Structure formats: C-alpha cells, structure tokens
C-alpha cells in the first residue's frame, strides 16, 4: 500500500476516559471483527487487565477503512495505558506513530495524566486530534471541556470530535478526521531496512516474537536481519500483523507496523528501542530509540519455597522481555534465602508484576519493604547510590544524605482542596503552585518520593472521595535528615526488616514493627527482646516472655532447699540458652511486619 494511505496513531488519555472502548468502536466500524466476535475492551488481553479494568500493555491493531471519497486507508492503531506507572508503554507507542487521538472525558475534563501524555506526544512531534468522549451522558459539559483543553493544554478545541465510544455516536466522523487530518508516514522504500523494535514477548513454540515499525526499506520472509545494538543476526521465519486476529504476510514495507519471528531464543538480544536492519546492506545510522527507563521503587522478591529460585529467575527473564521497565539483580537474605532485588516504576507496577508471577508462572513470592534510591555523600568526598538498607555505610563516614523528590500534580474539586493540602503537608510536601480552571483546582507540590510510594494514592482517593486525579514525575534530589532504622532480634540485626526513613518518622515506625513482631514470633523457653535502633541508640523495645516449664511438678513436699536448687538450675539453663539460642522468625511474621 502507498504510504499516503497509511495512518499510524496512538490513543492517549487519563485513566477511565474511554481509550479501550474507543478502540473497540474503531475495530467494529472498520469491520475487523464481526459483532459476534466482539467483546468489551478487546485489546486488553491479559486476565489481570480485564479484572482491574485498566490497560497495562500497549496493543496494536491494523484496520482497513474506506473513506467517503472512495480511497482505502490502512490505520495502525495503538491503544495505550493511562496509569502513570505504565507511562513507559505510552512513550514506546508514541515513537512508532505520527499522530495521537487525545481522548478527554466530557464529564470530568482535563486530568493530571491527560497533561502528562499530551506533553509526551508533543515531544514526539505528533499531530494531535482532540476527542471529547461520553457526550451522551447528562453530566457532560462540552463547552467547559473545550475551554479547559485550550486553557490548560494550549491546544485549539474548535474542531474537537464529539463522540460516545460506548454507543458509537460520532465515531464515523472521527474516522474521517483521522484520515484527513493526521499525517502519513514519510519513509523511503528504496533505502536500506530501518525498523524500530517497539515490543517483544516470549512464545514457547516460536521463541521471541518482535513487534516492529518499519521506517525505511522492506522486511521480507527469509531475509537475514541484524540487531544493531547487540550485533546478533537472524533469518526472518514469519511476518504478520494483528487485526486483532493474527494475519500472516510475506513482507512489511516503510510506514507499516507488524510482528516478526526469527527463531530467537536469546532474550538478551531483543533490546526494546533497538534498530533492526538488513545484514548485507545495513542502514548507516540507527534510530534514536527510547530514553532509558529508570526504576524508582525497589524491593526484594523471594520465592516462598527455596526450590522455586531457578523458576523465579526464568520467569523474571521472560517478564523483562515483555516489560522492559522491570529491572532485577540477584541478592540473598539470611531470613528469606536467595532472591532478587527488583526495580519498578511505582507500586501498581510492583503489584502487577507480583500478580503475573503468581498467575502466569505459578510462583508464590514474598515481597520485602519497598524503598527508593538514596544518594550518600561520604566524608572523603565520594558519592554512592543505595536502594538496599543493608548497603548503608557506617554513619560516622557519612557527610550528608539526599533523597529523591517528585513533582506531584493533583486536579481536585474545590470542596476537597483543604484535605489535599493537609495530606501533602503531612507527607513533608512543599507547595509550588495552585491555580483554578472552572471549579477545579490544580495543585502542584514537591513531595519526597519515599512518601508517595507507600499509601499516598490510596489516601488521596479516600480524602477526596475518588474525585481527584494525580500524576507525578521525578524532580530532583534534596538533602534530608535520613537514618537507617534497624530491627534487632535478641541483639541480632535483621537485614530484611531494616529500612531508611526520615528521622521524624523513625520512632513511630520502629514501635509499630516491634509491636507487630511481638504478636507474631512464637514464645521460646528463653526471653526474646525485639528492638528498633538508629545506630547504637535503641528507640523502641518489646519483650516476648519466656515459656515457663514447671520443674517443681514432681516435688511433693520435702525441704524448700531442694526446690530452690531446681529453680536455680533452671535459671542457669535459661541464661545459657539465651546466649546460644537462635530465634527462627516465621515467614508470615516477616510479611506482616513489612506491611506495617
């Protein structure tokens, strides 16, 4: 097909503004699936996506659309996630497209993630079409929404498409807008092959399947290709695209999106963002690829059973192929055995990975307390980065510590503004900006990342009754009064329960963990002391009383000195046991303590 009849575009929006439902209507109107084959959110293929009602993986689909003037167009649509934790999926999809449909819920208006996604589209030089969704609802405020788009984003909304993705109202007009207002690709078919590796996933029969966007040249069956970053070469075995059914073809040319297989077994050779070219006639310059994604939340993942360690390692390798924003490295813990230190883009990302490990690979995992990357400036002038509390150097060698701060943007109705300001201040936040658009406030704060990753989102939704929207991005590192909180069991430090926290929060957190462990560690024949400490200073303590064996049970009467002798003997035995006895902390106690 000629490039002038191809349109590559992504659907971007805030969570629940109707991206996946709009994708359903576009598939239906273009006749890619019959009505009996349709189901809601057809592109959300994972069970976890359908259960949670969110998009996690960006999906692509090719549609054929006959315009009113009679020309047949090829539409390559990418449905993207809306949640901030999956913004990396959005950036990858936008790099493979020339245009974007910006979907705005006409009952809610512009939200935090709407802004974040628009800025990404602008960075990729996209032509943006504004689409106002849910206009069939009585609470729709179309003129207000148009004003918000123009005032907050700075894009003209005069020609905005008014649609209802649920009923299909206005979708035919939107298709005409797509083919007449979005640009066509500008690749050169006669140049050497230059294709972008957008995504990849593992199939146990075919090996690695690669999703690509061809920028220049052609890719054909039997062609020998080369990965420019890894230098690996393969022979293309099959080529196809999704409608969303798999359709096999012999070649993909400049401007098209599809998938290839080439009997790739080495997962490490498929780097997302790599450029694929012809082995004999390579392109002289590779594509810029994607900006390297940096994890912000770290925690340990350990198998509940030690025999599952190798299985967990294989599972993480395969998940990394499908989700390039996941990072992991091997580590060990005295309490939990061998495991991995993993990096995530946020707490929802962590939850999804944990759930996918349990569902797709049948591995029961234990997750340690999440932490972020801290910068430690030593007395000798060196700077080190740590995300595991056990790597913390001796406090006497530390000059000062810095923690990451995030720039938080919150849209909230006026009546809940006080609750939001109180929450941000409680989380050690610093206000940057406060503006109004209609009856909604846009609050911009700087908040320590450590305070965001735990319960910030849940508490924000609670104090605004779900009417707020929230987006954050990494800002800068600032000096902070941070300490390592150690948990000691009978004087022995437990690395798995240690954490880095702000000095003002250390005592309350230490006390809560000690109280929880007291409830969960079974009593022994000797006394167990549980302590929270900062360096050599004990800030909280709980004691589990010793179980008392009745050594006098068989003494019927007789001299009192005999009873005293038995009690003294028992006392000496307990003293000896306390000096050599080990306390085995059940894994259930670890998990409960980490939830504190």
Q: How far does Cα 445 stand from its chain's mean position?
A: 22
Encoding tokens for residue 95? 């790099």
Residue 463, H or E segment: helix 449-463
DSSP, residue by residue, 564-595: HHHHHHHHHHHHHHHHHPPP---HHHHHHHHH
What whole-number distance in Å separates Cα of residue 108 and Cα of residue 315?
40
Q: Which long-range CB contacts under 8 A does 587-593 form with residues at least 24 apart?
A: 587/304, 587/336, 587/366, 588/520, 589/516, 589/517, 589/520, 589/521, 590/335, 590/336, 590/366, 590/496, 590/497, 591/366, 591/367, 592/516, 592/520, 593/487, 593/497, 593/513, 593/516, 593/517, 593/520
Say if CB 277 and CB 283 are below 8 A apart. yes
Instruction: Please tell me whether 20 is known to bind a ligand.
Output: yes
Instruction: Please tell me whether 134 is known to bind a ligand.
Output: yes
Instruction: Please tell me whether 279 is known to bind a ligand.
Output: no
What whole-number distance in Å separates Cα of residue 56 and Cα of residue 45?
10
Where b means 16+ CB within 10 Å and e means fewer, 549-560 reads eeeeeeeeeeee
φ and ψ of 150, to 5 deg: -70, -40
Angstrom distances, CA of residue 484 to CA of 31, 79, 127, 298 = 60, 43, 49, 16
Biggest CA–CA distance in the chain, Å, is 114
Instruction: Please tell me whether 269 is known to bind a ligand.
Output: no
Instruction: Please tell me whether 133 is known to bind a ligand.
Output: yes
- Residues facing residue 338 across a β-bridge: 332
Instruction: Please tell me whether 172 is known to bind a ligand.
Output: no
Instruction: Please tell me whether 380 is known to bind a ligand.
Output: no
φ and ψ of 538, to 5 deg: -85, 125
Say if CB 400 and CB 389 are below 8 A apart. no
Instruction: Please tell me whether 191 is known to bind a ligand.
Output: no
> Which three-class secondary structure state does DSSP give residue 400?
strand
Encoding tokens for residue 573? 């035995």
Tell me the binding residues for GTP: 16-21, 133-136
Tell me the binding residues: 16-21, 133-136
């Amino acid at each position: 097909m000629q490039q002038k009849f191809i349109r590559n575009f992504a659907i971007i929006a805030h969570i629940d503004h109707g991206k996946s439902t709009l994708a359903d209507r576009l598939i239906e109107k273009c006749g890619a699936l019959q009505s009996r084959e349709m189901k809601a959110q057809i592109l959300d293929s994972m069970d976890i996506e359908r259960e949670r009602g969110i998009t996690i993986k960006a999906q692509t689909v090719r549609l054929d659309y006959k315009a009113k003037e009679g020309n047949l167009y090829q539409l390559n649509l990418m449905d993207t996630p809306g949640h901030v934790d999956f913004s990396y999926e959005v950036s990858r999809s936008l790099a493979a497209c020339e245009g974007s449909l910006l979907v705005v819920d006409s009952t809610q208006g512009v939200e935090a993630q709407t802004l974040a996604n628009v800025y990404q589209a602008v960075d990729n030089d996209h032509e943006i079409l504004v689409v106002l969704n849910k206009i069939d609802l009585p609470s729709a405020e179309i003129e207000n929404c148009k004003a918000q788009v123009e005032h907050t984003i700075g894009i003209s909304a005069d020609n905005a498409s008014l649609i209802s993705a649920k009923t299909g109202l206005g979708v035919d007009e939107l298709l005409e807008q797509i083919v007449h207002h979005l640009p066509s690709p500008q690749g050169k078919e006669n140049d050497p092959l230059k294709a972008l590796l957008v995504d990849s996933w593992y199939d146990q029969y075919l090996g690695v399947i690669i999703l690509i966007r061809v920028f220049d040249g052609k890719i054909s069956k039997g062609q020998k290709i080369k990965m420019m970053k890894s230098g690996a070469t393969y022979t293309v075995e099959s080529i196809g695209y999704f409608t969303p059914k798999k359709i096999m073809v012999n070649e993909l040319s400049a401007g098209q999106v599809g998938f290839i297989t080439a009997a790739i077994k080495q997962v490490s050779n498929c780097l997302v963002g790599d450029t694929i070219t012809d082995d004999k006639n390579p392109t002289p310059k590779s594509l810029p690829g994607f900006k390297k994604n940096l994890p912000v939340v770290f925690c340990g993942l350990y198998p509940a059973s030690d025999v599952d360690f190798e299985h967990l390692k294989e599972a993480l390798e395969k998940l990394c192929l499908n989700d390039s924003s996941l990072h992991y490295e091997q580590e060990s813990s005295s309490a939990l055995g061998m495991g991995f230190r993993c990096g995530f883009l946020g707490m929802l990302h962590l939850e999804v990975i944990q759930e996918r490990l349990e569902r797709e690979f049948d591995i029961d995992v234990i997750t340690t307390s999440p932490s972020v990357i801290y910068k430690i400036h030593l007395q000798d002038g060196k700077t080190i980065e740590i995300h595991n509390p056990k790597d913390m150097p001796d406090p006497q060698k530390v000059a000062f510590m810095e923690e990451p701060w995030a720039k938080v943007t919150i849209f909230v109705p006026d009546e809940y503004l006080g609750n939001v300001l109180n929450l941000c201040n409680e989380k050690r936040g610093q206000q940057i900006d406060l503006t109004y658009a209609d009856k909604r406030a846009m609050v911009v704060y700087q908040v320590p990342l450590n305070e965001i990753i735990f319960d910030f989102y849940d508490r924000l939704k609670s104090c605004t009754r779900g009417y707020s929207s929230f987006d954050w991005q990494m800002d800068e590192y600032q000096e902070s009064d941070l300490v390592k909180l150690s948990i000691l069991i009978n004087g022995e430090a437990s690395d798995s329960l240690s954490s880095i926290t702000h000095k003002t929060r250390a005592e309350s957190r230490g006390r809560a963990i000690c109280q929880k462990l007291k409830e969960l560690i079974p009593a022994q024949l000797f006394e167990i002391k549980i302590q929270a400490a900062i360096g050599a200073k004990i800030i909280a303590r709980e004691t589990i009383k010793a179980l008392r064996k009745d050594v006098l049970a068989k003494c019927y009467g007789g001299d009192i000195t005999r009873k005293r002798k038995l009690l003294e003997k028992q006392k000496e035995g307990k003293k000896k046991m306390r000096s050599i006895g080990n306390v085995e902390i059940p894994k259930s106690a670890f998990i409960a303590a980490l939830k504190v």
